Amino acid sequence: MKIYAGIDVGSCTTKAVVIDEEDNIVGSHVRRSGVDYESAAREALDIALGGKKSDGMPIVSTGYGRHSVSFATEAKTEIACHGRGGFHYVPRALTVVDIGGQDNKVIKLDDQGRRVDFKMNRKCAAGTGTFIEEIAGRIAIPLEKLDGMARKAEKRVKIGSYCTVFASTEILSLIRTGVSPEELVRGVFESVVDRVMEMIPITDTVLLSGGVVEYFPIVADIFKARISGEVIVPPHPQLTGAYGAALFARELAG
What integer is the mean pLDDT of 175-194?
88
pLDDT band at 175 (very low <50, low <70, confident <90, very high): confident
Average confidence (pLDDT) over 215-225: 96
b/e for 32-52, b at 16 or more Cβ within 10 A? ebeeebeebbbbbbebbbeee
Write down the pLDDT at residue 162. 60
State residue 195 phi and psi, 5-degree precision.
Answer: -60, -35
CATH number of 4-79+239-252: 3.30.420.40
- Kindly indicate the confidence band of residue 138, based on its pLDDT and cuts at 50, 70 and 90: confident
Q: Is pLDDT at 160 greater than 70 in this prediction? A: no
Q: How far is CA 188 from the centre of its chain?
A: 17
Instruction: Domain ranges for the chain, please list them.
Output: 4-79+239-252
Q: What is the pLDDT of residues 10-64, one digit of tens each?
A: 989 999 999 999 999 999 999 999 999 999 999 999 999 998 887 889 999 999 9
Quick one: which of 39, 216, 207, 191 has its CA closest to 125?
191
Q: Per-residue pLDDT tens for 92-129? A: 999 999 998 888 999 999 999 999 999 987 556 666 88
Pairing relationship of beta strands 206-209 and 104-109 according to DSSP bridges: unpaired
User: For residue 65, how far is the Cα from the chain centroid?
Assistant: 15
Q: Does position 4 have pLDDT exceeding 90, yes or no?
A: yes
Residue 166: the pLDDT is 65
Using alpha carbons, list the distances in angstroms from residue 140 to 129, 135, 216, 236, 240: 16, 8, 17, 28, 30
Please determine, for residue 229, whether its predicted confidence score (pLDDT) is greater than 70.
yes
Instruction: Report strand pairing: 74-75 vs 13-19.
Output: unpaired
pTM: 0.91
